[in-house]
Amino acid sequence: MTTPPTPIAATPIIKPSTRALPEAARAARRTELWLLLLGMLLVAAYLAAVEANMLETVSSDFWAPAGVLAAVFLALHVVIRLRAPFADPVLMPAVALLNGLGVAFLRRLDLGRAEVPDRADLTVFAGDGGRQLLWTLIAVFGAAVVLWFVRDHREISKYAWTLGLAGIVLVLLPALLPGSISEVNGAKLWIKFGSLFAIQPGEFAKLSLLVFFAYYLVRKREVLALASRRFLGIDFPRGRDLGPVLVVWALSLLVLVFEKDLGTSLLYFGMFVVTLYVATERVSWLIIGLLLFFGGAALAYVLAETAGGPFASFGNRVDVWLNPFDEPYKSGYQLTQSLLGLGTGGMFGTGPGAGNPLQVPEVRNDFIFAGMGEEVGLFGLTALLVLYLLVVERGFRAALTVRDSFGKLLAGGLAFTLGLQVFVIIGGVSKLIPLTGQTTPFLSAGGSSLVANWLLVAVLLRISDAARTPASMGGVRK
């Protein structure tokens, strides 16, 4: 596996024209199409319910955002048909539904913010909902470009070192920039261009770092796995092989302290440890990783309580997590309002548009899950969780079935990262773990997150296509 990936030209690829497609691929695309249309119908129904509750009438063009979304996703569907005909048929419709519900909910928030008489005049591309719709357009275009031009996921590994370097720069950039440019709500995760436009480089760093991890670990897996010393019945790696692990650990602690963000650091570190574990199949890496992370977090907490300084904000978050109702209008405000929103929704929710999600601060970003929870209830949120789980598990399935190690590591890493991010933010807003500022993939308002996550989906689609292509059509590439 230390050999560089096979150049693309060496693999004979049968030009996939629709007519020549075997029944398996056509069935998969038919399923994808129907699931997609079903999803967009759900989005339209959600929009209709919102209008019925908020305008007390359903306007004749209530379906417009769903229509725009359907057109965008249909275009992506066509690209998939042409360029990844064997790709997993559930992946794209599931993500499209999440994305669509996010747009619908953001539009609902816009309506809530507008004065009652002005609500009927909200155009399709107005407000946060409209922006999110435009970002969806851009994100899906990006995904289509990846699918169109990257014909084999192994091509990506050619840029592994470049991407790895870019990833580190992207991670560190907000920490190094002055707070006025990079800080939003206490977390230094942003690069602001003026007042209107800001990107979260971390969202992209996640992807590029993962490509590098997968490439590096595939090359190093034997030495990492075999050269070891036994201690307490567990095989521990040699000191010099620990180097990169410690570098990433230090990097994530830097993020924790200087970007004041536990979630992002947990995400990077978890991503790395898991890919390391998958590559080497050694549990010792997991144990070392977990000990390092929780040791680091505990140390940071102790420092926060004693030394304060850059650690203080982390300490506060833990205190708020433990007792959010101690200061319900100050530090605990966000979390208490999030919990009250979720609790108000109860089992069935108030119905789309019938709740008061604007009572929850930052409901368009970090707390969108709590905001939706008030209106769709435990049942609706469970459905959303199932959708996420579906996407993640389909990612793992692609990893399991794809034949090359790089593809396995990349798909597994991407799927895990997505799942972990969902866990970190939803666990945060529902007080399962300390709250950290993460976006909720595909739901939160924000272009960076949406574009990055759609790129992630494009890569997963590409790998799943490779995994499911029959051997007779050039599927075996090992």
Partner 1 sequence: MNAPLRKVGVVIMVLFGLLFANLNWVQAYKADEYRSSPYNGRVKLAEYKRQRGVIMMAGGTQLAISTATDDDLKYLRSYPLKEQYAHIIGYKPVNIGSTGVEYTENDFLAGESDKLFGDRFRDLFTGEQTAGGNVLLTISPTAQERAFNELTKNKVGAKRGAVVALDPATGAVKALVSMPSFDPNVLVNHDTEAAQAAYKALLEDPEKPLLNRAISEINEPGSVMKVLMSAAALEEGRQPATEVTGGATYQAPGTTHKIPNSTGVVCPESITLIRALTVSCNTAFARLGVELGSKKIVDVATRFGFYDQNLSVGRLGDRGVPVAQSVLGQLVTGSGGDDQPTIALSSIGQASVSMTPLEGAMIAAAVANGGQQMQPHLVQQLVGPDLTTNFYVADPKPLRRSCSPSVATQLQQMMTSVVEDGTGTRAKIEGYQVGGKTGTAEGGEGEETHGWFVGFALKDGQPVAAVAVFLENAGKGGSSEAARIAGQVMRGVIADKTGK
Tokens of residue 12, six digits: 């004979």
- The Cβ-side half-sphere exposure at 196, using a 13 Å CA radius, reads 3
Is 109 a binding residue for partner 1 by CB under 8 A? The answer is: no
Q: Which is nearer to partner 1, 89 or 270 (CB)?
A: 270
- Indicate whether 406 belongs to the interface with partner 1 (CB under 8 A): no
Q: Write phi, then psi, for 229 (nearest 5 degrees).
A: -115, 145
Sequence-ordered list of residues with C-beta below 8 angstroms from that of 52, at least 6 positions apart, any chain:
58, 353
Binding segment for partner 1 among 33-41, 152-160, 289-297, 353-361 (CB under 8 A)?
A: 353-361
- Residue 311 or 369: the one with the smaller Cβ distance to partner 1 is 369
Compute the chain's Rg from CA coordinates. 23
Contact between 372 and 402 under an 8 Å Cβ cutoff? The reply is no
Under the binding rule (CB under 8 A), the answer on residue 339 touching partner 1 is: yes
Cβ distance to partner 1 smaller for residue 146 or 422: 422
Q: Tell me the two tokens of residue 230.
A: 């036994």
Segment lying near partner 1 (by CB under 8 A), choices 148-156, 166-174, 422-430, 457-465: 422-430
Alpha carbon of 216 to those of 245, 250, 276, 296: distances in Å? 12, 18, 10, 25
**Binder among 94, 95, 133, 381 for partner 1 (CB under 8 A):** 381
Residue 107: CB minimum distance to partner 1, A: 18
Q: How far apart are CA 249 and CA 71, in angstroms?
A: 43
Helix or strand holding residue 187 (H, E): strand 187-188
Residue 62 token pair: 């209530």
Q: Is 47 in the site for partner 1 (CB under 8 A)?
A: no
Binding mask 271-310 for partner 1 (x = CB under 8 A): ---x--xxx-x-----------------------------
246 C-beta neighbours (distance < 10 Å), count: 12
Closest separation in Å from C-beta 379 to partner 1: 9
Q: Please name the residue ranges forming H helices in 55-90.
A: 64-83
Residue 354 to residue 88: CA distance in whole angstroms: 36
The least CB distance from residue 475 to partner 1, in Å, is: 17
Question: First CA to last CA across the chain, in angstroms?
Answer: 10
Can you tell me the distance from the alpha carbon of 437 to that of 98, in angstroms, rounded to the nearest whole number? 20
Query: Among candidates 456, 280, 451, which has minimal Cα distance to 272?
Result: 280
Q: Does 359 bind partner 1 (CB under 8 A)?
A: yes
Quote the least distance from Cβ 441 to partner 1, whole Å: 14
121 binds partner 1 (CB under 8 A): no
How many residues bind partner 1 (CB under 8 A)? The answer is 52
Judged by CB under 8 A, the stretch of 83-91, 238-246, 342-350, 456-464 that binds partner 1 is 342-350
256: Cα separation from own chain's centroid: 19
Q: How far is the CB of 382 from partner 1 (least distance, A)?
A: 6
Q: Which of 405, 436, 438, 440 binds partner 1 (CB under 8 A)?
A: 405
Closer CB to partner 1, 320 or 381, in the complex: 381
Toward partner 1, which CB reaches closer, 73 or 367? 367
**What's the DSSP call for residue 390?**
H
Contact 36, 334 (CB under 8 A): no
* Stretch in the footprint of partner 1 (CB under 8 A) among 34-42, 128-136, 190-198, 427-435: 427-435
Q: In terms of CB distance, is 132 or 438 closer to partner 1?
A: 438
The yes or no reply on residue 329 touching partner 1 (CB under 8 A) is: yes
**Residue 386: partners with Cβ closer than 8 Å, 6 or more residues away:** none
CB of 9 to partner 1, least distance (A): 27
* Residues within the interface to partner 1 (CB under 8 A): 115-117, 274, 277-279, 281, 325, 328-329, 336-337, 339-340, 342-347, 355-356, 359, 373, 377-378, 381-382, 385, 388-389, 392-393, 396, 399-400, 405, 408-409, 412, 415-416, 419-420, 422-423, 426-427, 430-432
